[in-house]
Amino acid sequence: MSILIKNGEIVTADKQFTADVYCEGETISAIGENLDVTADEVIDASGKYVFPGFIDPHVHIYLPFMGTFSKDTYDSGSRAALVGGTTTLIEMCCPSRSEEPIAAFNLWNGKAEGVSACDYTFHMGVTRFDEEAEKQLRQIVDAGITSFKVFLAYKGAFGIDDAELYDTLKLAKELGVVVTAHCENADLVARTQARLVAEAKVGPEWHEPSRPIQVEAEGCHHLMTFAEMTGAEVYVVHTSCKPAVDALTDARERGVQVGIETVIPYLVLDSSYAERPDFEGAKWVMSPPIRAKEHQDYLWQKLADGTIQTVGTDHAPFDFHTQKHMGHPDADKAVDAQFNSTGTAANFTLIPNGIPSVEERVNLLYTYGVTTGKIDLQTFVAVASTNAAKQFGLHPRKGDVVVGGDADLVVYDPEYRGKISVDTQLMDTDYSGFEGMEISGRPHLVTVRGEVAARDGAFVGTLGRGQLLRRGTSEQT
Please tell me what DSSP assigns to residue 295.
H
Please tell me what DSSP assigns to residue 374.
S
256, HSE (Cβ side, Cα atoms, 13 Å):
26
CA–CA separation, 381 vs 383, rounded Å? 6
- At 332 the pLDDT is 54
Please tell me what DSSP assigns to residue 355.
B
- At 343 the pLDDT is 47
Phi, psi of 225 (to 5 degrees): -60, -45
**Residues written for the chain:** 477
User: Percentage of the chain with pLDDT > 90?
Assistant: 93
- At 338 the pLDDT is 37
Mean pLDDT within 115-135: 97
- At 428 the pLDDT is 97
Tens digit of each residue's pLDDT (9 = 90 or more) over 409-430: 999 999 999 999 999 999 999 9
H or E element that contains 227: helix 213-230
Tens digit of each residue's pLDDT (9 = 90 or more) over 440-451: 999 999 999 999
- At 156 the pLDDT is 77
More confident residue, 386 or 66: 386
Q: Is the pLDDT confidence value at 176 over 70? A: yes
- What burial class does residue 428 get, using C-beta atoms within 10 Å of its C-beta: 0-12 exposed, 13-18 middle, 19+ buried? middle
Across all residues in the chain, what is the average pLDDT? 95
What beta strand segments (E) does 287-408 contain? Answer: 310-312
Amino acid 5 reads I
- What burial class does residue 333 get, using C-beta atoms within 10 Å of its C-beta: 0-12 exposed, 13-18 middle, 19+ buried? exposed
More confident residue, 149 or 156: 149
Tens digit of each residue's pLDDT (9 = 90 or more) over 263-281: 999 999 999 999 999 999 9
Out of 32-41, 49-58, 341-350, 364-373, which region has the weakest mean confidence (pLDDT)? Answer: 341-350
- At 387 the pLDDT is 98
- At 336 the pLDDT is 44
Shortest CA distance to 401 belongs to which of 50, 2, 121, 36?
50
Cβ contact 254:233 at 8 Å:
no
CA–CA separation, 422 vs 434, rounded Å? 9
Mean pLDDT within 88-102: 96
Query: 346 pLDDT band (50/70/90 cuts)?
Result: confident
Q: Say whether 446 sits in a helix, a strand or coil.
A: strand
Mean pLDDT within 284-294: 98
- At 344 the pLDDT is 57
CA–CA separation, 211 vs 392, rounded Å? 29
Please tell me what DSSP assigns to residue 41.
E
- At 66 the pLDDT is 84
Burial readout 374-384 (b: 16 or more C-beta within 10 A, e: otherwise): bbebebbbbbb
CA–CA separation, 307 vs 224, rounded Å? 16
Query: 476 pLDDT band (50/70/90 cuts)?
Result: low
Tens digit of each residue's pLDDT (9 = 90 or more) over 11-39: 999 999 999 999 999 999 999 999 999 99
- At 330 the pLDDT is 80
More confident residue, 80 or 158: 80
- At 477 the pLDDT is 42
Q: Is the pLDDT confidence value at 334 over 70? A: no
Phi, psi of 461 (to 5 degrees): -85, -160
- At 23 the pLDDT is 98
- At 329 the pLDDT is 82
Query: 339 pLDDT band (50/70/90 cuts)?
Result: very low
